[in-house]
Amino acid sequence: MPNKIKTIGVLTSGGDSPGMNAAVRSVVRKAIFEGIAVKGILRGYEGMIKGEVIDMNSRSVSNILGRGGTILKTARSKEFMTETGQEKAVRVIKDHEIDGLVIIGGNGSFQGAHILHDKWGVPNIGIPGTIDNDLGYTDYTVGSHTSVDTVLDAVDKIRDTVTSMERIYVVEVMGRKEPYIAVMAGLAGGAEEILYPGSEISIERIKKEIDSAEKSGKMSWIIIVSEGYGKAAEIAAQLEENTKYNVRGITLGHVQRGGKPNAPDRILASRMGAFAVSALMEGISDHMVAVRSMELKLVPYEKACFEREKDIEFHRQLYDLTKLLAT
């Protein structure tokens, strides 16, 4: 039988992503609709340890649907990964009579959530909020759409200068392991080359392609590189070495995390927030909300975090199409 949930706690953890506020709003208002009280936990697991807990109502989440960042703040917590830190956190949860948690975050946040369920018996459901789209068994994560739009806007602006000055620009985007941002923005932005984790593209090969393109009249290039492949400045220096090319490296950095969430992220976050509350009401725990072919599903944390099944071939197909269209 479903567990009787009287109070839900909600927190955002790890790196922020556009749409986290939309998810918080959905969790709060769905819970209140169901007659469940809501506690907001500030600054993720770090705030949980320190007892930074506030009461929330429908007005607490007014006018936040389109705001970037997170009104609950976020942080990374080394202390939570210790048994002492976990004991403190669980004590705070019990003191505030919280029956279940909705945790909005990424891989590291869900590993902590799994510990809370498996070791301490704290029911919780996760909402994937990360711009990298690097969790398994979900097509998208909250914030991933907006981050690509942000990169695309920057690439479009850079393209004006690249074309005007006939230069080569190397644009570094986030993605330590996951090629999602680079590949999506590369295709949408008409990049001439994309360098991402797992690809085996050499600098010498790029130089040869640039030489060949120049002979046909092509005088400017944009190369997008995931941070997991290398640094823009270093790649630019290698491309410029022993050539006549004028190459510049640009790192977009944390601008990719900020800004208003776009419509797809607001919609996804709103759907996932309400779905997470319903899952807790049904007595489900230790799972992440996922979206597959527009349908919401529940995936165990261990699968989402450790059995990533992102389609490498899909990224390869997008890369090949980008190259074809850039010729």
Partner residues linked to 7 by β-bridges: 37
Kind and range of the H or E run holding 266: helix 263-281
d(CA 175, CA 172): 9
Q: How is residue 114 written in tokens?
A: 């799994």
Question: Which DSSP symbol is given to 142?
Answer: B
Beta-carbon contacts of residue 274 (< 8 Å; ≥ 6 apart): 26, 27, 30
What's the Cα-to-Cα distance from 211 to each of 91, 221, 243, rounded to whole Å?
Answer: 64, 11, 10
Partner residues linked to 39 by β-bridges: 9, 55
Three-state helix/strand/coil letters over 174-216: CCCCCCHHHHHHHHHCCCCEEECCCCCCCHHHHHHHHHHHHHC
Beta-carbon contacts of residue 215 (< 8 Å; ≥ 6 apart): none
d(CA 69, CA 265): 13
Dihedral sign (CA 92, 112, 44, 117): negative
Of 172, 177, 110, 184, residue with least CA distance to 147: 184
Of 260, 290, 294, 2, residue with least CA distance to 129: 290
d(CA 75, CA 104): 12
309, with CB counted inside 10 A (0-12, 13-18, 19+), is exposed
Which of the following is catalytic: 55, 99, 118, 132?
132
Q: How is residue 293 written in tokens?
A: 């072919």
118 noted as active-site residue? no
Which residues are catalytic, by number? 132
